[in-house]
Amino acid sequence: MSDVHRFHRDYVRILRDDWRVGGSSQVESDAVELSTRIQSTLSSGSASHRVRQRLYSLASDVISTAAFAAIDAKIRSRARSHLDRAVTLAGLSGDSETQYHVWNHLAMAAGQRGDHTEGLAAADAMKGLWIARRDSLYASLAHMRTARAMARCHQRGEALRALAAADKSFDRARDEERPAWIGFYDQSEVDGLSASIWFALGDFGTAEYFFHRTLSGIRPELVRNRALYTAHLALSQASQGEVELACSTGQRAHDLLMAGSGSKRTVDTLGKVRHLVAATGSTAPDVTSWIERSRQWT
């Protein structure tokens, strides 16, 4: 168990690095290296059954973090490779929460590829696990993944029903100790995911409202998420024709990215902002200046 505790401390450090800088190659490589060390310990064959289950669970969580770094960097082939490994390790762990963690990232990876059928299947798998039936917080996130996939399929009614179920489950969730990785899923994240659903449904004003709510409540250590949601706020403003405001918000989003950040999700969102702003043909000095500056970020 001393190995489990030591490896877990290293894992939490990597997780916090991901929260700060996003999909950096350093976060991904650190997670891969730690997962390899854990599996090397497993290969020794000297651990008890209980310790082996914990190590399999931890190895899966760690390689899932590597997958998420690749998702944030939009390196889809590596994300899929990490997730394939995480599925195996989670199965060997026999732990419902660990399996849920992997399916959550599979739902995200599928959405990024535009494979919403697989995204819905992953969300359904999340909802079917024991942890989602026992803990309303996990049920809430699973419903939110369903809502996002439905919104991107332009299934408005189904998306809003799933969103309502996510909100209801979140409100029922008790304050209790949970694994470190799901610490991101608080009220600000519920607001942020809600905003993305309203945006996908074409209701940019409501999306902007929820993005503002997200940014007012997001925790200081979630630096990458703050930059990402600020970029999405800029996109919602640009989608409503608020050109100069979108440029100002977009600049703020870029300035929030830490040195070494690999969050291509954020940078690509700012690229969409630039495209919308440029399409207006505005000749305002602040707008044209921002367009030129933002071209250098891609």
d(CA 261, CA 80): 21
Digit-coded pLDDT (tens) for 170-204: 999 999 999 999 999 999 999 999 999 999 999 99
Alpha-carbon torsion angle 222, 256, 74, 179, nearest 10? -10
Digit-coded pLDDT (tens) for 98-131: 999 999 999 999 999 999 999 999 999 999 999 9
Residue 162 has pLDDT above 90, yes or no: yes
Digit-coded pLDDT (tens) for 5-56: 999 999 999 999 999 988 888 999 999 999 999 999 988 777 788 889 999 9
Stated pTM of the model: 0.95
H or E element that contains 59: helix 49-72
d(CA 227, CA 256): 5
The Cα-based distances of 284 to 236, 245, 246, 294 in angstroms read: 20, 12, 13, 16
Question: For a pLDDT cut of 70, what percent of the chain falls above it?
Answer: 100
Phi-psi region of 203 (alpha: psi -120 to 50; beta: other; left: phi over 0): beta
Provide the residue ranges of all domains of the chain, joining segments of one domain with +.
1-74, 95-185
d(CA 297, CA 136): 40
Other residues' Cβ atoms within 10 Å of the Cβ of residue 223? 19
